[in-house]
């Protein structure tokens, strides 16, 4: 049963061993209990759900408008024969216009693109709530002075931080599941009521949904790391939320400064992906977003890599700090 107890000198306690067979400590369960025995989880869950519902509505309305436009357009294909003589486009121009028309009326492609949007409804603010969740998982211990009890039960603090990371990730997965179930449920209902079927096998559809999950997990880890760095609950929450929200403008300002004063090369703009918020945007984007005019966009995996690095570094720094810190 207790595989970890081999580290200590053997001790005889027959009476107790008989009445209470030793069990393995379950630190993740302890952390999940901490979350589920207070109001934090459903408060965050409620905000998440309201946010998802509102954004879902916006995305569905938007998707329907796009599809309607495309359907209207399809009724009026370019008619070169009726063009007045002299104004008739060249053969090459005709070819281009036809291609453009085909692209704008490619209903399956539009459905796929819009489905990706609908299925990740509420992502931007949702991730902010997730980062706050991670922060709370740690700072609650200090605000309510339960850190003493936690570290008395588990003197090996690395295990506590790992358990907190896992618990935050588990909870984030739960929130993602609920949020995605709602979005996909209502989204599919909307599309099928209008006679469209969603191409789930299309990478353009499932990849943003999967990346949304990855973003939830990584931001939860970032939140835990952040909570360790700033123990003050309100301070940590506001700072984390603030940094998350201003990440893109901040990235543009910083890189803009570097571009203007240090390295005058267009490629420098790609460095915005070094900011976690931007990395997150790159990772979850349906189309690779480009930050340099005329250049190909940044691939999703670059964002995923950067954000994972942040998650790992935040977790590692958090663990190191917690191991050394005096609890008083």
Partner 1 sequence: MDGQLVVSNLTKVYPKVRAVDDLSFTVQPGRVTGFLGPNGSGKTTTLRMMLNLVTPTAGTATIGGVRYADLPRPLDVVGAVLEASSAHKGRTGRNHLRVLCAAGGYPDRRADEVLDLVGLSPAGGRKFRGYSLGMRQRLGIAAAMIGDPKVLILDEPANGLDPEGIKWMREFLRAFASQGRTVFVSSHLLGEMQQLADDVIIIAGGRLVAQGSVSEIIASIAEPGAVRVRTPHVDQLAVELHSYGAILDYPGENQLLVRGVDAATVGRAALAARAELHELTTEAPDLEQAFLKLTRSMAAIR
Query: What does 82-151 look like in DSSP terms, one character per residue?
Result: TSPTT-PPPHHHHHHHHHHHHHHT-HHHHHHHHHHHHHTTTHHHHHHHHHHHHHHHHHHHHHTT-HHHHH
Cβ atoms 249, 202 nearer than 8 A: no
The Cα angle at residue 82 between residues 77 and 85, in degrees rounded to 5: 130
Does 234 contact partner 1 by CB under 8 A? no
Does 29 contact partner 1 by CB under 8 A? yes
What residue spans of 230-299 are helical by DSSP H? 233-245, 247-261, 276-284
Does 296 contact partner 1 by CB under 8 A? no
Radius of gyration, alpha carbons of the chain? 26
Cβ atoms 227, 160 nearer than 8 A: no
* Span 30-49, contacts to partner 1 by CB under 8 A: 30, 33-34, 37-39
The Cα–Cα gap between 289 and 254 comes to 19
For residue 151, the minimal CB distance to partner 1 (Å) is 6
> Whose Cβ is closer to partner 1: residue 144's or residue 232's?
144
Does 7 contact partner 1 by CB under 8 A? yes
Pick from 58, 267, 316, 327: which binds partner 1 (CB under 8 A)? 327
> Whose Cβ is closer to partner 1: residue 88's or residue 144's?
144
Which listed range, 52-60, 145-153, 234-242, 309-317, lies at the site for partner 1 (CB under 8 A)? 145-153
Please tell me the count of residues contacting partner 1 according to CB under 8 A.
41
Does 18 contact partner 1 by CB under 8 A? no
| Contact residues: partner 1, CB under 8 A | 2, 4-9, 11, 13, 16, 20, 22-27, 29-30, 33-34, 37-39, 140, 144-146, 148-156, 324, 326-328
């Amino acid at each position: 049963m207790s595989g970890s107890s081999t580290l200590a000198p053997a001790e005889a306690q027959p009476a107790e061993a008989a009445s209470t067979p030793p069990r393995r400590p379950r630190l993740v369960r302890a952390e999940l209990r901490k979350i589920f025995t207070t109001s934090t989880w459903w408060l965050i869950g409620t905000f998440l759900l309201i946010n998802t519902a509102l954004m879902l509505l916006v995305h569905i309305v938007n998707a329907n408008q796009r599809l309607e436009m495309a359907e209207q357009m399809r009724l009026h294909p370019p008619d070169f024969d009726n063009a007045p003589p002299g104004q008739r486009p060249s053969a090459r121009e005709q070819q281009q216009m036809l291609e453009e028309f085909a692209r704008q009326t490619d209903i399956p492609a539009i459905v796929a693109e819009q489905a990706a949007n609908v299925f990740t409804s509420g992502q931007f603010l949702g991730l902010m709530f997730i980062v706050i969740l991670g922060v709370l998982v740690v700072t609650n211990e200090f605000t309510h002075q339960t850190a003493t009890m936690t570290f008395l039960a588990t003197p090996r603090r690395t295990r506590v931080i790992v358990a907190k990371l896992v618990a935050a990730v588990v909870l984030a997965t739960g929130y993602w599941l609920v949020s995605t179930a709602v979005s996909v449920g209502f989204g599919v209902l909307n599309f099928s009521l209008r006679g469209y079927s969603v191409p789930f096998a299309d990478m353009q559809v499932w990849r943003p949904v999967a990346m949304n999950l990855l973003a939830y997990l990584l931001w939860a880890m970032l939140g835990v790391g952040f909570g360790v760095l700033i123990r003050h609950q309100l301070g940590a929450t506001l700072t984390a939320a603030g940094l998350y929200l201003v990440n893109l403008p901040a990235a543009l300002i910083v890189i803009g400064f570097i571009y203007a004063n240090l390295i005058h090369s267009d490629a420098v703009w790609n460095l915005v992906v070094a900011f976690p918020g931007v990395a997150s945007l790159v990772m979850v984007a349906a189309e690779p977003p480009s930050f340099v005019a005329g250049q190909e966009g940044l691939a999703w995996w670059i964002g995923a890599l950067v954000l994972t690095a942040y998650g790992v570094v935040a977790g590692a720094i958090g663990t190191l700090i917690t191991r050394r810190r005096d609890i008083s």
